[in-house]
Amino acid sequence: MEQFLNLTLNGITSGAVYSALGLSLVIIYRATRVVNFAQPAFALISAYLAYSINQATGGYWLGFAVALLAGAVMGVLTERLLVRPVRHNELGAIIVTLGLLIVLQAVAGMVWSNEPHSFPYAFDFRGDFSPNSMFVVAAVAVTALAVLLLFRATPLGLRMRAAAFHPDAARMSGVRVGLMLTLGWGLASAVGSLAGMLAVPPFIFPNVLDGVFVYALTAAVIGGLDNPLGTIIGGFLLGVGLSYVSGYLGPELVTLAALAILVIVLAVRPNGLFGKALARSV
């Protein structure tokens, strides 16, 4: 029973990270129908900037704030300079983000080297459900709630939704569609950088977020790629499920289990487990 409880708590912590990074993918996909494969690279560069600031100052929170700001800036610049010119070609936009992923990971290796560097936790990480684990879950829960409230209950969020789903009608109503899409990319990239800061410890290196991105994308597909709430639920379910697989069957089967879950969901519910049930309410 104790092992089951520990695995569940560890899975909740991991699932929170998958949910946050998956949420960043969904925000952009809802706005542009593009899966941003460069998202883990944005999070990586943001985390490296935080690492540099932590090394220079000895503090954590200044680097944390800079990481979120850097993620937002990278998202805005990417949308404006790289994605917008090919916005009418979804495949072209996806290829652009893939290329950007490769370039930024290479840049990270050249600037900070490919060797692992020690990266601090926000709080004490020792114990079955440590203060750091509680911080991870709380940070993701607050962020997810804020994003959902933004889209549901604020004029800015309503304009962003209108720009994403009905751009022509929104434009005729006076909504600055281009600006809304840019803000969506900035918001999504900031959320992705938050996920990166939570996932990177205890070591940072150029490929540290690759596996996390795969699981986050799986969570987004499970929950419904255009459904923020479904993605959050999918992330937590995936985190707990993979924790059980790792604990009872062995960590070497985790990736295979994630792939099996993804294939089953796509076969049974191509739009995700919550694709139709929740999409109208978020």
Residue reference for tokens 């991870």: 136
Residue 149 in 3-state DSSP?
helix
Residue-level length of the chain: 282
Domain count, the chain: 1
Can you tell me the mean pLDDT for 6-11? 91
> What's the rounded mean pLDDT across residues 251-276?
85
pLDDT tens track for 160-195: 888 877 888 888 888 888 898 899 999 999 999 999
In the prediction, which pLDDT does 276 show?
57
What's 171's domain CATH number?
A: 1.10.3470
Q: Which residues pair with 117 in a beta bridge?
A: 204
What integer pLDDT is reported at residue 275 of this predicted model? 65
Helices (H), the chain: 2-32, 39-57, 61-78, 90-112, 131-153, 155-165, 167-172, 177-199, 210-223, 228-248, 254-268
The whole-number pLDDT of residue 153 equals: 86
The contacts of residue 176 (CB under 8 Å, 6+ apart) are none
CB-based contact 5:128 (threshold 8 Å): yes
Indicate if the pLDDT at residue 142 is higher than 50: yes
Which of 215 and 171 is assigned the larger pLDDT?
215
Residues 6+ apart with CB under 8 A from 86: 92, 93, 96
With a cut of 60, say whether residue 263 has pLDDT above it.
yes
Owner of token pair 């929950």: 223
| C-beta neighbour count of 277 within 10 angstroms | 15
Q: 220-239 burial, b if ≥16 CB within 10 A, otherwise e?
A: bbbbbbbbbbbbbbbbbbbb
Q: Determine the structural domain holding residue 111 and report its residue range.
A: 2-281
Residue 282 pLDDT: 45
Please give the model's pTM, rounded to 2 decimal places: 0.90
Which of 129-143, 152-166, 172-186 bottoms out in mean pLDDT, i.e. has the lowest? 152-166
